[in-house]
Amino acid sequence: MTQVTDRLSASPTTPTSPAPASTAATKTAQIDVAWLGEYLLGTWAAERKQSRALMARPEFHRIDGLTLDEHRERVFGQLKLLVGDGAVHRAFPTSLGGANNHGGNVAAFEEIVTADPSLQIKSGVQWGLFGAAVLHLGTKLHHEKWLPGIMSLEIPGAFAMTETGHGSDVASIATTATFDPKTDEFVITTPFRAAYKDYLGNAAVHGRAAVVFAQLITHGVNHGVHALYLPIRDDSGLLPGIGSEDDGLKGGLNGLDNGRLFFDHVRVPRTNLLNRYGDVNEHGEYTSPIESPGRRFFTMLGTLVQGRVSLDGAAVIASKLALTIALIYGSERRQFTASSATDEEVILDYQRHQRRLLPRLAETYAMSFAHEKFLSTFDGVFSGAHDTDDDRQDLETLAAALKPLSTWNALAILQEAREACGGQGFLMENRLTQLRADLDVYATFEGDNNVLLQLVAKRLLTDYSRTFAKADAGAMAHYAAELVGDVAVNRTGLRRLAQNVVDFGSTARSIGYVRDTASQRQLLTDRVQTMVAEVAGKLRPASKLARAGAAALFNRHQNLLIQTAQAHGELLQWEAFTDALEGVQDDQTRQVMTWLRDLFGFTLIERNLAWYLMNGRLSANRAQAITDYIDDRLLPRLRPQVLDLVAAFGLTAEHVRAPIATGIERVRQNEARDYYENLRASGKLPIEEKDLKAKKR
């Protein structure tokens, strides 16, 4: 097997043969790395490969040490290179030079994170938010007028939705667009400081126009949030009535010129309203193909869901990048003479190091497979192949479930990888600290993660209530009897007692009852279903309470709601991993991937053992058996597979760009070992003081 470090290394000093593996790393199975790498690329493998080839070029790479202005200008110049390579137009109509390829567009876009997250987000602002808003919220008139300039970067633009006072609560934004029938114009106004459009990419320096979201008012009626196209700069600077402030230096993503915009009675033609879902005629009369204001609002926002899709995918790629660095380094770095008087131990052979990184590796594979399903669902909706109202609602729920988990997990993985590399991980040249800083904001933009999970919980409750909406009294009584019986068995300890009796205290017997796929699915699914039923029961009185009382009841159980949604998202990831196993034909590869899936599933269960014990789903014996199985079986089995599993990510040296992942540590370790071996062989090795004292005794 070719070592992954040899594949990544661009250094001529890297040895052709690796340092001797420890006994813990003896191969037990052979993964088909090439096949697995293709499998992970998914449906849009060609687009991902094209993007990776582009991102391998040094002109797209982040340069550390640039000033704020220099970094911004470099990234803006890189946008022009993307245009020149035709890399950003896949999702636009063929009539305008695009390809109507929505899934491939997002897949390629996600790969940009390997070059510089600032470049990924700035290109996302330009074409994935600003351009996509004109495409999906506008009509043919708007497409023909503005999309060519947006696609060519002649019109750099901002996506002006978020306000200082309202981030995730878009429905409550305060900027207004009031129709003036005398001039056939909308008057856009920022009524107070908290209504400033904030944190907008391209707003501080480069933007020439913006899609502004505002409360649409005509004839004294507020029709809710709509989007309008608004020019904001020309060659001379800001246009009359437009105000701008620079957000300045941020915790990360400083190649992106975030800023604020505010408006003092700025007038735009009525036809600048992006009117696919709501229109105003010259008389000020409002019409919409969607009668419900609430559904209309969510439909308009749903057309822009690709931002959440791409953040989910970029978080997965960043996690793969971090683990590639940390696991290569961990497989080469040696420290402490635990089992030998002369040879130091490879740190990845320490169980604790495996415990820190291997579950994260399993988690990343689960995230990757879940994202592929997510991306396919997105493409189905936006291509029109599966574009019913239910399809769009399912996509919105999936986005709200997976984006929080992947972005939170990516931050945790980056931090764990940094710590696992010690001081080397803290060096900027090894990228982990900068990636952690750049991805930090992923947890709060395109929807704060906690708010998104709350949306998922509400959908779960809606589906739960629909299940019983038409149930007759007999069905409800039967369900209630089952629930009472379930509670009686689980919470009185009878289930735990039965498990203990069957297991007879045997760890092997205990794990045997929960190790298979069906048992893992039952444990994970049961937790979600039980939590949904529990929170539904707690919130049931809300329908009979006044608004304030209902809000207070909801608030008392908000934490449980979010925990329920998170459990649901984790189940989706586990199911995606399990489904992916069906496509693995090679027996040895499938065996290793099954171990990896098991590690992911058991880690989820172990992380929530308190719930399983408190609710009687597991006995203490079986709970302990799960931990023992991870430590004594799964980690040792997977340890020899680590380099193959990260090699399947397909990231080259040009993508990784971290010296400690090039084989340089192996060179250092071999040099040190050879030095001491030669010193011992020459008889010149000094005697240790403790050995001298032992001889005297």
Nearest to 663 by CA among 8, 111, 221, 1: 8
DSSP 59: G
CB 659 within 8 Å of CB 430: yes
Q: What's the CA gap between 460 and 453, in Å, rounded?
A: 11
Contacts 24+ apart (CB under 8 A), 289-296: 293/223, 293/224, 296/224
Q: What's the CA gap between 204 and 94, in Å, rounded?
A: 32
Half-sphere exposure (CA, 13 Å, Cβ side) for 336? 6
Please, where are the H alpha helices in 265-305?
A: 293-302
Nearest to 120 by CA among 451, 409, 363, 435: 435
Q: Is the dihedral of CA 644, 649, 652, 653 positive or negative?
A: negative
Question: What φ, ψ does residue 278 adopt, rounded to 5°?
Answer: -165, 130
Question: What φ, ψ does residue 400 adopt, rounded to 5°?
Answer: -70, -20
> CA distances (Å), 680 to each of 20, 287, 336, 337, 620, in order?
19, 88, 18, 16, 52
Nearest to 56 by CA among 125, 10, 17, 19: 10
Q: What's the CA gap between 635 and 3, in Å, rounded?
A: 20
Nearest to 42 by CA among 369, 271, 317: 369
The residues annotated with a catalytic role in the active site are: 446
Q: What's the CA gap between 3 and 320, in Å, rounded?
A: 17
Q: Beta-carbon neighbour count of residue 205 at 10 Å?
A: 17
Q: What's the CA gap between 101 and 303, in Å, rounded?
A: 15
For residue 527 the two structure tokens come to 């937790």
CB 139 within 8 Å of CB 275: yes
DSSP 533: H
Question: What φ, ψ does residue 79 adopt, rounded to 5°?
Answer: -60, -40
Pairing label, strands 157-160, 233-234: unpaired
Q: CA 639 from chain center: how many Å?
A: 26
- For 190-319, list the strands marked E by DSSP: 197-200, 209-218, 221-231, 233-234, 237-238, 242-246, 259-263, 266-269, 279-280, 286-287
For residue 545 the two structure tokens come to 């309470």
The three-point CA angle 165-170-173 to 5° equals: 50
Q: Residue 229: beta bridge partners?
A: 211
Q: CA 240 from chain center: how many Å?
A: 40
Nearest to 329 by CA among 642, 684, 13: 642
Q: CA 264 from chain center: how many Å?
A: 38
CB 382 within 8 Å of CB 306: yes
> CA distances (Å), 152 to each of 86, 171, 441, in order?
10, 32, 28
Helix (H) / strand (E) element for 398: namely helix 389-420
Q: What's the CA gap between 525 and 535, in Å, rounded?
A: 16
DSSP 163: B
CB 249 within 8 Å of CB 228: no
